[in-house]
Amino acid sequence: MQKVKPTVLILCTGNSCRSHLAEGILRAVAGDSLNVQSAGSKPAGYVHPLAIQVMQEIGIDISAHHSKPMNDFLQSPVETVITVCGNADQACPMFPGQVNRHHWGFDDPAHATGKEEEKLAVFRRVRDKIKMVFEAYAAGRCDQVKAMQLT
């Protein structure tokens, strides 16, 4: 019998930048051990083109992602909810099966102003911060799974 992968749901307000950066990175580093999804409390309806671009720079393709409302997951078993902006943290309901909840806030790169290169610099900075946090989270989850297998 195959065990169901735990679902990790990453939430932000618009589900256009930060949550997709985090989803792409966590999927890449967690491999098949987690079912990683993202959603928004007020979905923007698109994934920001600069988010797609800065992820391609590190070899992760999020061009097929789409913006989804968090209500789409209210009937699904969600083991862990991670909010990446304050508004989503405040709006976040409890999900069926939810065991863990984390809030790691990041600046919203969608609010970056200036020339294209200046905006890209903001997206890269936020991406790199998200990458550092979610790679550490994934490493901890892998250690947790290994420890459970030893007992």
Active site (catalytic) residues: 12, 85, 92
Supply 58's token pair. 């590190």
Q: What tokens appear for 32 in the block?
A: 């098949």
Q: What are 63's two structure tokens? A: 């061009």
Beta-strand ranges (E) seen in the chain are 7-12, 35-40, 80-83, 100-103
Do residues 116 and 96 make contact, with C-beta atoms less than 8 angstroms apart? no
CA 76 to chain centroid: 17
CA 63 – CA 86 distance, rounded (Å): 25
Residue written as tokens 């297998």? 149
